[in-house]
Amino acid sequence: MKDARIIFLGVGGDSYVVGKQVLSSGGIIIKLGELQFHVDPGPGSLVKAKQYDLNLRENTVLLVSHNHINHSNDANAVIAAMTHNGEDKKGVLITNKTVLEGDEKNIPVITEFHKKCLEKKIKLEAEGKAGIGNVDIHATKTKHSDKEGIGFKFYTPNFVLSYVGDTEFTKEIAEEHKGSDIIILNVVNPGDQKVKNQMNTSEAIEFLKITKPSLAIITHFGIKMLSADPINEARTIQKESKCQVIAAKDGMVLNPYSYSAIIKQRTLNLY
Ligand SMILES: [Zn+2]
């Protein structure tokens, strides 16, 4: 699985940034060899996939962490694109209870029709697990306004990758992401500007001091983050946490293997 790429179809976070599409919100594509994972398909997923020359027909798995619009809006459209609207029944959906079934206040995100287009649907709650090819996916806890929200930890043969999802900082959640080589962290606000149910720069520092990945990628930026400049905030987080930190950009493509520390660490583990 030496062929790996992470492509950001959108790094927008709050309703101001996403509402005006100052930054996009099409989620993240993770390519691991033959497998293609699409995480959190917010508004614009199809448009951004076309722009960045990605074929959503090749999605093996669609993962939706919770039912908020900026994470789930295009889920049905992506399923239709993956399956020729159900003519070619294929693909796996990994998601939480509210996306699949709704709750007392919300209808399900995925329509009954689109559920039938898929080969398999896997509903996970925190600590649940799913296996796709040689990749194991563990669902992690979140503390968010969708109480059933989850994060995803991908165990690949060569590295461990965390998508923490939308959550407040808690020590317990950080502990769950220990052992990840690469962590994708949703950091909505800069400095210590509090934002309910989400993380700011100061909390991202605390999170990374506990998890200590080889690389952290911050994304999901709000309007205040944009004013502060995510690159500056990434530098601050790197300095304070002593982890390598980069700020994601719309359309950014990252090859995990280009981060030599990760390869070195994993190679050493083989002996
Ligand atoms: Zn959310």
Q: Are 8 and 261 in contact (CB under 8 A)?
A: no
Q: Tell me which amino acid residue 145 is.
A: S
Sequence-separated (6 or more) residues with CB below 8 Å from residue 138: 127, 128, 129, 152, 153, 155
Taking only the tens of pLDDT, the chain with its 271 residues reads 578 999 999 999 999 999 999 999 999 999 999 999 999 999 999 999 999 999 999 999 999 999 999 999 999 999 999 999 999 999 999 999 999 999 999 999 999 999 999 999 999 999 999 999 999 999 999 999 999 999 999 999 999 999 999 999 999 999 999 999 999 999 999 999 999 999 999 999 999 999 999 999 999 999 999 999 999 999 999 999 999 999 999 999 999 888 756 655 655 554 4
Sequence-separated (6 or more) residues with CB below 8 Å from residue 233: 187, 190, 191, 201, 218, 225, 247
Burial of 131 (0-12, 13-18, 19+ CB in 10 A): exposed
**How far, in Å, is the centroid of ligand 1 from the Cα of 266?**
33
**How far, in Å, is the centroid of ligand 1 from the Cα of 88?**
31
**How far, in Å, is the centroid of ligand 1 from the Cα of 14?**
9
Q: Which domains does the chain have, with CATH numbers?
A: 4-269 (3.60.15.10)
Instruction: Please give the angle made by the CA atoms of 131, 136 and 138, to the nearest 5 degrees.
Output: 105
**How far, in Å, is the centroid of ligand 1 from the Cα of 42?**
11
**How far, in Å, is the centroid of ligand 1 from the Cα of 117?**
26
